[in-house]
Structure 1
Amino acid sequence: MCSYCGCESIDVIGRFMAEHVEIVNASGVLRRACERGDAEAVVAAADALGRLLHPHTGAEEAGLFAVLSEDDEFTDHVRSLCAEHTSLDAALAAVRDGDHASFPAFDLALRAHIDREENGLFPAAAIAFAGPEWERVTALTPVAAARNGGA
């Protein structure tokens, strides 16, 4: 997780980065369930991960990504991150539905996606945006979902 530029001090970015930690931790629970071959635990872990992942990606897309995509410099990058959100959803569903062997590819894609956000998009937004853009991002970003398994 990024910590070099200080962008985590921006409230919405700090929130997204904290959610990334929770998502990665939940992915570890899913990994262990897959390794044990425990189908019931895989479903429970995948559902718990989804309860973290879906509100998170939805909030990113509704707020930060929406405002960033208004700038032609960011449009393609944001579009590719949104496509990754869709791919991650499909990959998580495949693991949940019994394709436990696909977990390593899902986990690798998840971590690469988070890296692209934390070491690319978030610092770039911190540089590109002034106060008014952050106010818009905050206004458009849904309130944080219940954490730790709440839905």
Structure 2
Amino acid sequence: MSDYCWCLATPAIEELIREQDELVELSALARAACRCGDLDALVECVTAISVLFGAHAEVEEGGLFPPMAAEFPEQIAVLQGEHRRIAAVLAGATDGTARTDPAWPAQITKALTLLRRHIVKEQEGLFPAALTVLTSDEWERLAEIRADAGLLAS
């Protein structure tokens, strides 16, 4: 996030960034569990990531992406596609894949790398652009979606 960005002065964006920071911290724990070969800890971390990421993506896709798509259709399509790819691998923590597919830990490592790159795209591009695109009503809608997703402001 640029030091010159006013994103952190916008509560909705500040909350999205806080969630992303938490996702990065959880990802570090997941990577450590993967390096140690601790499948139980890896599944636990990835489950936590999946829950937070799912709610976070719900807020972005329901409140942030629609108004941004008119001006930035290709970029929003890429971000949506990344949401799907990341979520599909994260789902392995709870759908049995983690326990049956020996390649799953490597897939998680790749998904976490994609997640980190995705976060950078949002923080460096999407969030600053949202400050110029979203209307007051759209920011309010974002807050409603956040509450519906169970993500209350900290």
Q: TM-score range by the shorter chain?
A: 0.7 to 0.9
8 Å Cα contact 1:5-1:123 kept in structure 2: yes
Which runs of structure 2 are paired with 1:75-94 in the superposition (5 Å)? Answer: 75-94=73-92
What is the SS of the residue equivalent to 1:142? helix
CA distance in 1, matches of 2:3, 2:119: 13
Amino acid in structure 1 at the alignment position of 2:65: F
* Higher deviation after alignment, 46-55 or 123-132: 123-132
C-alpha distance 133-48 of structure 1, shift in aligned 2 (>3 A): closer
Q: Which runs of 5+ in 2 are unaligned?
A: none
What is the SS of the residue equivalent to 2:4? coil
CA distance in 1, matches of 2:2, 2:44: 29
Partner residue, 1:55: 55
For the aligned residue pairs, the C-alpha RMSD in angstroms reads: 2.2
Q: Give the share of equivalent positions with the same residue, in percent.
A: 34
Partner residue, 2:18: 18
Q: Which runs of 5+ in 1 are unaligned?
A: none
- TM-score, structure 2 length as denominator? 0.81
8 Å Cα contact 2:5-2:128 kept in structure 1: yes
Aligned residues: 144
Q: 1:127 deviation in Å?
A: 2.1
- TM-score, structure 1 length as denominator? 0.83
> Is residue 2:41 matched to residue 1:41?
yes
- The C-alpha deviation readout for 1:39-76, integer Å capped at 9, x for no partner, is 1111111111112111111111111112222x2x2222
